[in-house]
Amino acid sequence: MSDRRVVVWGASGGIGRALVDALAASGNYAVVDAGSRTPIEPVSDVVHPFAFDLLDEGSIGAAAERIAAVGPVDLVIVATGLLHDEGNQPEKSFAALTPDAMVALFRVNTVGPALIAKHMVQALPKYRRSVFAALSARVGSIGDNRLGGWHSYRASKAALNMMIANLAVELRRTRPLSIAIGLHPGTVDTRLSAPFQKNVADGKLFSATASAGHLLSVIDTATDAASGSVLAWDGQRIAS
Protein backbone atom coordinates (compact mmCIF):
# COMPACT_ATOMS: atom_id res chain seq x y z
CA MET A 1 0.00 0.00 0.00
CA SER A 2 1.28 3.43 -0.91
CA ASP A 3 1.71 6.06 1.79
CA ARG A 4 0.48 8.82 -0.49
CA ARG A 5 -2.51 10.98 0.43
CA VAL A 6 -5.14 12.73 -1.67
CA VAL A 7 -7.87 15.22 -0.78
CA VAL A 8 -11.00 15.65 -2.89
CA TRP A 9 -12.97 18.81 -2.16
CA GLY A 10 -16.50 18.39 -3.51
CA ALA A 11 -16.78 14.65 -2.95
CA SER A 12 -20.57 14.47 -3.08
CA GLY A 13 -20.96 15.75 -6.66
CA GLY A 14 -21.20 13.43 -9.64
CA ILE A 15 -17.57 13.75 -10.72
CA GLY A 16 -16.27 14.21 -7.19
CA ARG A 17 -17.85 11.01 -5.92
CA ALA A 18 -16.58 9.08 -8.95
CA LEU A 19 -13.09 10.43 -8.29
CA VAL A 20 -13.21 9.31 -4.66
CA ASP A 21 -14.34 5.82 -5.68
CA ALA A 22 -11.64 5.53 -8.36
CA LEU A 23 -8.90 6.80 -6.07
CA ALA A 24 -9.92 4.42 -3.30
CA ALA A 25 -10.02 1.48 -5.71
CA SER A 26 -6.66 2.29 -7.28
CA GLY A 27 -4.58 1.20 -4.31
CA ASN A 28 -2.28 4.15 -4.96
CA TYR A 29 -3.30 6.11 -1.87
CA ALA A 30 -3.25 5.23 1.79
CA VAL A 31 -5.76 7.98 2.59
CA VAL A 32 -8.46 9.60 0.45
CA ASP A 33 -9.84 12.57 2.37
CA ALA A 34 -13.27 13.28 0.90
CA GLY A 35 -14.83 16.66 1.67
CA SER A 36 -18.40 17.78 1.11
CA ARG A 37 -21.06 19.84 2.82
CA THR A 38 -22.51 16.64 4.30
CA PRO A 39 -19.94 13.84 4.73
CA ILE A 40 -20.35 11.01 2.22
CA GLU A 41 -20.61 7.34 3.06
CA PRO A 42 -17.08 5.91 2.68
CA VAL A 43 -16.63 3.15 0.11
CA SER A 44 -13.56 1.71 1.84
CA ASP A 45 -11.38 2.12 4.91
CA VAL A 46 -9.01 4.47 3.07
CA VAL A 47 -11.78 7.05 2.52
CA HIS A 48 -11.99 9.61 5.32
CA PRO A 49 -15.04 11.88 4.91
CA PHE A 50 -15.02 15.41 6.26
CA ALA A 51 -17.43 18.35 6.15
CA PHE A 52 -16.73 21.86 4.88
CA ASP A 53 -18.61 24.88 3.57
CA LEU A 54 -17.20 26.23 0.30
CA LEU A 55 -18.66 29.67 1.06
CA ASP A 56 -17.01 29.92 4.49
CA GLU A 57 -13.24 30.46 4.57
CA GLY A 58 -13.11 29.56 8.24
CA SER A 59 -14.60 26.17 7.45
CA ILE A 60 -12.12 25.60 4.61
CA GLY A 61 -9.19 26.70 6.72
CA ALA A 62 -10.13 24.51 9.68
CA ALA A 63 -10.51 21.43 7.47
CA ALA A 64 -7.21 22.12 5.69
CA GLU A 65 -5.42 22.59 8.99
CA ARG A 66 -6.65 19.24 10.28
CA ILE A 67 -5.56 17.53 7.07
CA ALA A 68 -2.13 19.19 7.02
CA ALA A 69 -1.53 18.24 10.66
CA VAL A 70 -1.51 14.55 9.69
CA GLY A 71 1.19 14.96 7.05
CA PRO A 72 1.93 15.99 3.45
CA VAL A 73 -0.70 15.63 0.74
CA ASP A 74 0.36 14.45 -2.72
CA LEU A 75 -2.79 15.36 -4.64
CA VAL A 76 -5.49 17.97 -4.08
CA ILE A 77 -8.53 17.89 -6.36
CA VAL A 78 -11.18 20.61 -6.25
CA ALA A 79 -14.30 19.10 -7.81
CA THR A 80 -16.75 21.83 -6.83
CA GLY A 81 -18.66 23.95 -9.33
CA LEU A 82 -21.90 25.73 -10.15
CA LEU A 83 -23.52 26.34 -13.54
CA HIS A 84 -27.17 26.79 -12.61
CA ASP A 85 -29.56 26.45 -9.72
CA GLU A 86 -33.28 26.82 -9.13
CA GLY A 87 -33.14 30.59 -9.33
CA ASN A 88 -30.51 31.11 -12.03
CA GLN A 89 -29.84 29.73 -15.50
CA PRO A 90 -26.88 30.45 -17.82
CA GLU A 91 -27.46 33.81 -19.52
CA LYS A 92 -28.09 33.87 -23.27
CA SER A 93 -27.78 37.65 -23.49
CA PHE A 94 -26.40 40.55 -21.48
CA ALA A 95 -29.98 41.59 -20.75
CA ALA A 96 -30.21 38.54 -18.48
CA LEU A 97 -27.23 39.50 -16.30
CA THR A 98 -27.88 40.06 -12.61
CA PRO A 99 -25.27 40.97 -10.01
CA ASP A 100 -26.54 38.38 -7.55
CA ALA A 101 -26.18 35.53 -10.06
CA MET A 102 -22.71 36.69 -11.09
CA VAL A 103 -21.53 36.91 -7.50
CA ALA A 104 -22.97 33.47 -6.71
CA LEU A 105 -21.07 31.84 -9.57
CA PHE A 106 -17.82 33.63 -8.77
CA ARG A 107 -18.05 32.62 -5.11
CA VAL A 108 -18.41 28.95 -6.01
CA ASN A 109 -16.31 28.69 -9.18
CA THR A 110 -13.48 31.10 -8.40
CA VAL A 111 -13.30 32.24 -4.80
CA GLY A 112 -13.94 28.85 -3.20
CA PRO A 113 -11.22 26.98 -5.15
CA ALA A 114 -8.79 29.87 -4.61
CA LEU A 115 -9.35 29.71 -0.85
CA ILE A 116 -8.85 25.95 -0.87
CA ALA A 117 -5.53 26.53 -2.62
CA LYS A 118 -4.62 29.22 -0.10
CA HIS A 119 -5.09 26.84 2.81
CA MET A 120 -3.85 23.62 1.17
CA VAL A 121 -0.48 24.89 -0.08
CA GLN A 122 0.88 24.32 3.41
CA ALA A 123 0.18 20.59 3.04
CA LEU A 124 1.95 20.10 -0.30
CA PRO A 125 5.37 18.44 0.12
CA LYS A 126 8.44 20.54 -0.68
CA TYR A 127 10.68 17.79 -1.98
CA ARG A 128 8.52 15.48 -4.08
CA ARG A 129 5.95 15.80 -6.85
CA SER A 130 2.47 16.88 -5.92
CA VAL A 131 -0.49 18.18 -7.88
CA PHE A 132 -3.20 20.74 -7.20
CA ALA A 133 -6.00 20.23 -9.74
CA ALA A 134 -9.31 22.08 -10.04
CA LEU A 135 -12.21 21.33 -12.35
CA SER A 136 -12.51 24.12 -14.89
CA ALA A 137 -14.26 24.21 -18.28
CA ARG A 138 -13.42 24.80 -21.91
CA VAL A 139 -15.92 27.67 -21.95
CA GLY A 140 -13.60 29.50 -19.55
CA SER A 141 -11.10 29.90 -22.39
CA ILE A 142 -11.06 33.44 -23.78
CA GLY A 143 -9.18 32.38 -26.91
CA ASP A 144 -11.58 29.52 -27.62
CA ASN A 145 -14.76 31.56 -27.17
CA ARG A 146 -16.71 31.65 -30.43
CA LEU A 147 -20.31 31.40 -29.23
CA GLY A 148 -20.57 33.85 -26.32
CA GLY A 149 -23.37 33.46 -23.82
CA TRP A 150 -23.20 31.85 -20.38
CA HIS A 151 -21.55 35.10 -19.31
CA SER A 152 -21.22 34.60 -15.56
CA TYR A 153 -20.14 30.97 -15.82
CA ARG A 154 -17.56 31.70 -18.54
CA ALA A 155 -16.17 34.65 -16.59
CA SER A 156 -15.96 32.74 -13.32
CA LYS A 157 -14.09 29.86 -14.97
CA ALA A 158 -11.76 32.26 -16.81
CA ALA A 159 -10.99 33.84 -13.44
CA LEU A 160 -10.38 30.38 -11.96
CA ASN A 161 -7.94 29.66 -14.77
CA MET A 162 -6.00 32.83 -13.88
CA MET A 163 -5.88 31.79 -10.22
CA ILE A 164 -4.45 28.42 -11.29
CA ALA A 165 -1.83 30.19 -13.42
CA ASN A 166 -0.90 32.43 -10.48
CA LEU A 167 -0.71 29.45 -8.12
CA ALA A 168 1.66 27.71 -10.54
CA VAL A 169 3.98 30.72 -10.50
CA GLU A 170 4.04 30.73 -6.70
CA LEU A 171 4.61 26.97 -6.49
CA ARG A 172 7.67 27.24 -8.78
CA ARG A 173 9.25 29.45 -6.12
CA THR A 174 8.11 27.66 -2.97
CA ARG A 175 7.50 24.03 -3.99
CA PRO A 176 9.26 23.51 -7.32
CA LEU A 177 8.20 19.88 -7.66
CA SER A 178 4.51 20.75 -7.31
CA ILE A 179 2.25 21.68 -10.21
CA ALA A 180 -1.15 23.35 -10.51
CA ILE A 181 -3.53 22.52 -13.35
CA GLY A 182 -7.12 23.09 -14.37
CA LEU A 183 -9.09 20.15 -15.74
CA HIS A 184 -11.81 20.23 -18.38
CA PRO A 185 -13.79 16.99 -17.94
CA GLY A 186 -15.84 17.31 -21.13
CA THR A 187 -19.60 16.92 -20.87
CA VAL A 188 -20.37 14.50 -18.06
CA ASP A 189 -23.74 12.95 -17.30
CA THR A 190 -24.37 14.79 -14.03
CA ARG A 191 -27.00 17.10 -12.60
CA LEU A 192 -24.90 20.10 -13.66
CA SER A 193 -25.05 19.21 -17.37
CA ALA A 194 -28.47 17.52 -17.45
CA PRO A 195 -30.41 20.44 -19.03
CA PHE A 196 -27.79 20.89 -21.77
CA GLN A 197 -27.11 17.38 -23.04
CA LYS A 198 -29.39 17.24 -26.09
CA ASN A 199 -26.81 18.77 -28.43
CA VAL A 200 -23.88 16.66 -27.26
CA ALA A 201 -22.33 14.63 -30.08
CA ASP A 202 -22.50 10.85 -29.96
CA GLY A 203 -19.75 9.42 -27.80
CA LYS A 204 -19.03 12.78 -26.14
CA LEU A 205 -21.31 12.43 -23.12
CA PHE A 206 -19.23 10.68 -20.50
CA SER A 207 -20.38 8.83 -17.42
CA ALA A 208 -18.98 10.13 -14.16
CA THR A 209 -16.95 6.93 -13.81
CA ALA A 210 -15.40 7.33 -17.27
CA SER A 211 -14.72 11.00 -16.60
CA ALA A 212 -12.92 10.20 -13.35
CA GLY A 213 -10.71 7.75 -15.20
CA HIS A 214 -9.85 10.35 -17.86
CA LEU A 215 -9.04 13.03 -15.30
CA LEU A 216 -6.86 10.81 -13.11
CA SER A 217 -4.91 9.75 -16.19
CA VAL A 218 -4.30 13.42 -17.07
CA ILE A 219 -3.21 14.16 -13.50
CA ASP A 220 -0.82 11.20 -13.43
CA THR A 221 0.87 12.19 -16.70
CA ALA A 222 0.90 15.99 -16.33
CA THR A 223 4.41 17.43 -16.52
CA ASP A 224 6.00 20.51 -15.01
CA ALA A 225 5.55 22.22 -18.37
CA ALA A 226 1.77 21.91 -17.99
CA SER A 227 1.69 23.71 -14.64
CA GLY A 228 -0.53 26.77 -14.80
CA SER A 229 -2.52 25.55 -17.79
CA VAL A 230 -5.92 23.92 -18.29
CA LEU A 231 -5.91 20.41 -19.71
CA ALA A 232 -8.86 18.68 -21.34
CA TRP A 233 -9.97 15.17 -20.45
CA ASP A 234 -7.78 13.81 -23.28
CA GLY A 235 -4.68 15.64 -22.08
CA GLN A 236 -4.80 18.40 -24.71
CA ARG A 237 -3.97 21.91 -23.52
CA ILE A 238 -6.82 24.42 -23.79
CA ALA A 239 -6.12 27.95 -25.00
CA SER A 240 -6.05 30.60 -22.31
- Return phi, psi of residue 132, to 5°: -110, 120
What local confidence, expressed as pLDDT, does residue 176 receive? Answer: 96
Into how many domains does the chain fold? 1
What local confidence, expressed as pLDDT, does residue 190 receive? Answer: 76
State the average pLDDT over residues 97-106: 96
* CATH number of 58's domain: 3.40.50.720
Q: Which helix (H) or strand (E) holds 57?
A: helix 57-70
Q: What are 128-181's pLDDT values in tens digits?
A: 999 999 999 999 999 889 899 999 999 999 999 999 999 999 999 999 999 999
Domain range holding 143?
Answer: 5-238
Instruction: Provide the whole-model pTM.
Output: 0.94
Whether the predicted pLDDT of 197 surpasses 70: no
What local confidence, expressed as pLDDT, does residue 196 receive? Answer: 59
The candidate with the shortest Cα–Cα distance to 74, out of 109, 28, 25, 111, is: 28
d(CA 237, CA 66): 34
